[in-house]
Structure 1
Amino acid sequence: MDLPTADQFYEAVFLPELWPSACEALAKEVDASTATIFAIDEKGGYRFVCTPNIWEGIMRFSSDPRRFDNPRPARALERFPFTFTRELDLLSEEEYENDVVLTEFIRPAGMNWSAGCVFQEPSGHLIMFDLLRRKGMEHYSDGEINHLNALKPDLARAVFLASRLAFSEAKVMSNTLSSLGLAAFVLGADMKVMAMNGEAEVLSPRITTGYRERLVLESKATTSLLTAAFLAVTSSVMGTVQSLPLMSANGQEPLILHLLPVRRAAHDVFGRGLAILVVTAPGKQGAPDMRVLSGLFDLTPSEGKIARELAKGLSIEEISKLHSISMDTVRTHVKRILTKTGTNRQPELVALLLGLSLPQQESNHSLRT
């Protein structure tokens, strides 16, 4: 015997792989053909879980720029906040017949009528429930809409719990890193700083918060790299750690920023979009290990070799002769290394590279362990 729909939603909070079956249970409650739950960020990015029969259509919709022409979420939030309603209550008859979501996505998928609910959860994301019925079926009755609204408190509470669980896990990670003496920031949507430990606070003004608590770095080059890395880490199910340098214009030691995804379950749309930013200071001795260079900045073997030669103090001409390659090739590699390390000039790059090597004693210890 299947669990009640509300129980299936609460179960999915802790087992994200159960969200699709929870959506199926919700659809059955009102004889809907499909059910989807969207998490919409401040920039209009969509993440979702849904019944398997609409997955391909929702994938196409969520990556299509025409999704921004969908007036439903904003109108539902304004006119019927936290309440299930039909799309005909949000759109005029003319708007409905010319609605791009209906004509380009819903009807081509064999669907016709929709009902939904929109609300905002604590991290700032909009949460939207959307239930579709196939062509030929009647629209949702008042009784069915009332039934959805009776379920709504448990549905919303489950989504809130999923979001808060991810945040709590991130906060625990931040505090654990503090016990190790490492600075850490918990980042939410749009790189908003949701929490930071004491070690992170003392990094201001090199790393601080700005408008709407968004993370601000002293280097524009690193900010650009971090923004791209954050998108890669939080949008990918298999997001991996990204490491970036932060150079100082005032002669302070460089810092290394390590961006870690918090959760990466395929169906965990409510816990994703969070990341931990850990800040470490490099060592001060000798040219860096090529494994360090490649691991931190995704350098190719050739780029790693040239970066190491630069750290030893060799000129472009000397590197060219040493490795029997043209100076133009060396310059091309140097440009790529500058881009990947977020540095603007060769002296800046060398200063960073010289700071990346661990002290000899620590290096030997790491090899033994």
Structure 2
Amino acid sequence: MKLPKSEDAFLLGMLLDLNQSTQAWEHFMQVYLQHFNLRSCHLMVVSSRTQAMRFHVEAGEPTSPEFMKIYLEKYIQHDQVLNKINRSPTGHFYATNEIHEEENVYDSDYFLNFAQPQGMAEGAAACAFTEGEWRCIIGTNRNAQQGKYSRDELERMDTLLPYIEKAIKTTFQVAEHSKSDMRSRALVNTFRIPVAALTEYGEIWAMNDQMKNLIENDKTLYIQNNSLHSSNKDHERMLSNGPIQIHKRVNGLGMDSDDSECFRLNDKAQLAFQELTEEKDGQTVFLGVLVYAVSEQWITSTSIQQLMDLFSLSPAEAQVCKRLSQGCSLKEIAKVEQKSVNTVREQLYRSFEKTGCNSQVSLMNLMATLPYYQEPEIGLLS
């Protein structure tokens, strides 16, 4: 591999000493942004088939959720720089000012109505490497004051790409091996419902027998390259993006993301994600993500009255717990009970306090251990 220029050599040192943590990657991206005078930059590993992300770090000006939704729904197919790198050899940056003549970038609808309104006057991107369906993309942009990309700058950024590739692959390998210890296997085996533990990059590092049986019997779920996948395109995106969203939320970088942290697998079951953390030296340390399945198939019939008697739950709190055990999401419960999602969430949190649980997955596991109890159902509760 070609060595970076002297002024970029310190970036190589950072890549070789990332300590395999997302926080270190975020620091590197911030330094990278300042060093190359960028407005914002993104580093992601994304599926060319589903657009799901396996890895994502960013620095600089964030894109609002509204603009990101517009981009994915309308403009992703018209992003000239992205189209350029998709049809070009990997390992090279392409900039708007260099491809304008062949792509007519500055007069396009994408530039005039999406990029420019956000202050993105210039852009440059590269595909660092491909591996199967996965592509490592680095996207950067500048405002008008920061100016166009020079050929020298693009070549210097090209030189760093092989080292970025090596660092990302090392990060994935270390994340997989460091978390496949006996403690993780013991943890998932404490659950009565199907549970698997994933790294923040989506690799499986432990799963219980119930989850193995679920994957074997489900027509859409499968394991490939030590990651959980689905033949359903929407579910595939959720399985890839869920761990990333959880990790960002735990680190205070995400927004309210209920939609990305659970989805209906079929008519009878729902898959959901839950962060796995531990307290160390007074700080919350992110370990990974639990993905679990909820259905009456794995939780015996639970009575509203039983829940009220055992845990002193109110009728409304017991109803929320029961519907969760049936595989309903908070939004689905709110719709059926004709309440706001916030009201349902408050009732769930009160149920946590009364049952001694600290998460939905622990509450579902508790309910899976309750003995069978049957009585006539009561009506909708307020």
**CA distance, structure 1, for counterparts of residue 135 and residue 96 of structure 2:** 17
Name the counterpart of 2:3.
none
TM-score normalised per structure 1: 0.55
Structure 1 unaligned regions, length at least 5 = 249-254, 265-270, 309-331, 341-351, 361-369
Q: Determine helix, strand or coil for the equivalent of 1:153.
A: helix
TM-score normalised per structure 2: 0.54
- Counterparts in 2 of 1:104-119, with a 5 A limit? 104-119=113-128
| Structure 1 letter corresponding to 2:126 | C
Q: Determine helix, strand or coil for the equivalent of 1:7.
A: helix
Query: What per-residue deviation string (whole Å, max 9, x for no partner) do you get for residues 198-249 of structure 1?
Result: 72434565346557866679xx9xxx9999899767534147987999998x
- Specify whether residues 125 and 225 from structure 1 end up closer, same or farther in structure 2 by C-alpha distance, changes over 3 A only: closer
Shift of 1:113: 2.6
**CA distance, structure 1, for counterparts of residue 263 and residue 147 of structure 2:** 54
- For the pair 1:7 / 2:17, whether they are aligned, the reply is no
Decide whether the 8 Å contact of 1:306 with 1:333 is kept in 2.
Answer: no
- Counterparts in 2 of 1:1-369, with a 5 A limit? 4-9=10-15, 11-12=17-18, 14-41=20-47, 42-44=49-51, 48-52=56-60, 54-55=61-62, 57=63, 61-64=67-70, 65-68=73-76, 69-88=78-97, 92-93=101-102, 95-119=104-128, 124-135=133-144, 139-168=148-177, 171-172=180-181, 175-177=185-187, 184-185=195-196, 197=207, 199=209, 200-203=211-214, 205-207=216-218, 209-210=220-221, 235-236=245-246, 237-238=249-250, 259-261=273-275, 275-277=290-292, 281-282=298-299, 288-290=306-308, 301-302=315-316, 304=318, 333=337, 356=368, 358-359=370-371
Decide whether the 8 Å contact of 2:92 with 2:126 is kept in 1.
Answer: yes
Shift of 1:79: 0.8
**CA distance, structure 2, for counterparts of residue 294 and residue 165 of structure 1:** 45
**CA distance, structure 2, for counterparts of residue 226 and residue 38 of structure 1:** 17
Structure number, greater radius of gyration = 1
Shift of 1:158: 2.4
Shift of 1:96: 0.9
- Specify whether residues 166 and 99 from structure 1 end up closer, same or farther in structure 2 by C-alpha distance, changes over 3 A only: farther
| Structure 1 letter corresponding to 2:291 | I
Query: RMSD over aligned Cα, in angstroms?
Result: 5.7
Where does structure 1 differ by over 6 angstroms across 4 or more consecutive aligned residues?
224-233, 239-248, 255-258, 271-274, 284-287, 291-295
Decide whether the 8 Å contact of 2:199 with 2:288 is kept in 1.
Answer: yes
Decide whether the 8 Å contact of 1:185 with 1:278 is kept in 2.
Answer: no
Structure 2 unaligned regions, length at least 5 = 1-7, 251-256, 279-285, 323-335, 345-363, 373-382
Task: Give the % identical residues.
Answer: 12
| Structure 2 letter corresponding to 1:143 | D
Decide whether the 8 Å contact of 2:272 with 2:292 is kept in 1.
Answer: yes
The size of the alignment, in residue pairs, is 299
